[in-house]
């Protein structure tokens, strides 16, 4: 199946730079407020207020409305064995030793950026520190392979080999994606190599959200009772890092840092 990617012009790439810069500011604010006792609902409220203060639109809020189940928050807050898409709640407080994954996006000047980070809540176990470090570094290894003319398999192979060399597993059901005009666009970019993947070339004008989701145990996941939250099937810890990347005439740029 041929990929139908939507390339961006220089004006749109500049808007993505501005969008990503604002999103990084929101993430910084949240990181400064992660402490035992704060609720995921309070983090969500902080995120939404900051996004709006910066002139953005929280793109996650209401996502999925066309399918009858809109996401209720502006940021996904996933704890411990939750992989992604955790729903923020005022009655869910962070505890010492938790791993929290924050995933969010915003629209600014018409363009959408997307990013995620995993944070330690206070002191965490050595296992939690391992999956956090491995996932963060796997994204760095993948990004280091990017250039105009590189293939998706160059990125995916670097992520997979690093994670698996440390005894961790790559989530298969959830992948990265094109981004910009909308939150999810083609191409879809796995974090592992397979014969079935669409091994396209990265081209000038592309914008992608790359996001390894890596488990300490097996790679299998399942959907939770709320219909949104993915959890590891074996109850193992999971971590998630994501950045929006653009390919411009000047090369590869990480706009969410």
> What's the pLDDT at 2?
54
d(CA 75, CA 205): 27
Inside any domain, residue 208: yes
Inside any domain, residue 150: yes
Inside any domain, residue 170: yes
> What's the pLDDT at 217?
97
Inside any domain, residue 104: yes
* Sites in the chain below the pLDDT cut of 70: 1-3
> What's the pLDDT at 1?
44
pLDDT in tens, 64-77: 887 778 999 999 99
Residue span of the structural domain in which 236 resides: 10-254
**pTM for the complete prediction?**
0.95
Residue 37 in contact with residue 47, Cβ under 8 Å? no
Inside any domain, residue 63: yes
Count how many domains the chain has.
1
Inside any domain, residue 2: no
Inside any domain, residue 228: yes
CATH of the domain at 62: 3.90.230.10
> What's the pLDDT at 132?
98
Inside any domain, residue 1: no
């Amino acid at each position: 199946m041929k990929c139908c990617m939507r390339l961006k012009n220089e004006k749109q790439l500049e808007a993505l730079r501005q969008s990503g810069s604002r999103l990084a500011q929101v993430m910084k604010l949240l990181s400064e407020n992660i402490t035992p006792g704060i609720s995921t609902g309070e983090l969500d409220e902080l995120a939404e207020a900051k996004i709006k203060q910066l002139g953005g639109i929280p793109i996650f809020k209401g996502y999925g409305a066309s399918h009858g189940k809109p996401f209720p928050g502006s940021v996904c807050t996933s704890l411990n064995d939750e992989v992604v898409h955790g729903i923020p709640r005022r009655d869910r407080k962070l505890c010492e030793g938790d791993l929290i994954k924050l995933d969010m996006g915003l629209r600014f000047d018409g363009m959408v950026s997307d990013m995620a980070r995993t944070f330690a809540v206070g002191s965490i176990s050595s296992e939690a520190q391992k999956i956090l470090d491995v996932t963060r570094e796997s994204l760095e290894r993948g990004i280091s392979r990017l250039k105009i003319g590189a293939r998706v398999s160059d990125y995916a192979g670097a992520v997979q080999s690093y994670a698996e060399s440390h005894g961790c597993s790559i989530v298969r059901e959830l992948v990265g994606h094109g981004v910009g005009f909308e939150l999810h666009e083609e191409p879809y970019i796995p974090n592992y190599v397979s014969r079935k993947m669409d091994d396209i070339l990265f081209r000038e004008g592309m914008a992608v959200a790359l996001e390894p989701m890596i488990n300490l145990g097996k790679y299998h996941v399942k959907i939770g009772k709320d219909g949104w939250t993915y959890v590891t099937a074996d109850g193992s810890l999971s971590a998630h890092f994501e950045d929006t990347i653009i390919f411009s005439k000047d090369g590869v740029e990480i706009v969410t840092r």
